[in-house]
A = this chain, B = another copy of it.
């Protein structure tokens, strides 16, 4: 299900994307508190999203009620890591997507004796 979602996105196959989404799908970016409500608005959001973007899925796991993916996006030449959590409806459609865009940062002091850097 989640793999098909990303295949449809990368292919800009909006009709295939629509077929995977519940009519009341909720899309959220918790880091920015942005939200898109409903299938029509969410397909529109993806269709109109600015810039030249491509994606590659690194990992997908799912069970009957939902799942998650780790995905690499290239947006206008910039690489971004994306982690998304999905919930499925009882009808087996995507009912919610919580989309995270974690950025690089310097580790806090105090744990450097417990880790190595790569």
Contact = CB atoms under 8 A, between A and B. Distances in A.
Interface in A37-57: 37, 41, 44-45, 48-51
A84 to B, nearest CB: 9
Given A61-B66, A101-B102, A30 B114 contact: no
A81 B83 CA distance: 12
B67 A117 contact: no
A32 B66 contact: no
28 contacts: A28-B118, A29-B115, A30-B102, A31-B102, A31-B104, A32-B105, A33-B104, A34-B111, A34-B116, A34-B117, A35-B116, A35-B117, A50-B110, A50-B111, A51-B110, A59-B66, A59-B85, A61-B61, A61-B62, A61-B63, A61-B67, A61-B85, A61-B86, A63-B67, A68-B83, A68-B85, A102-B103, A103-B103
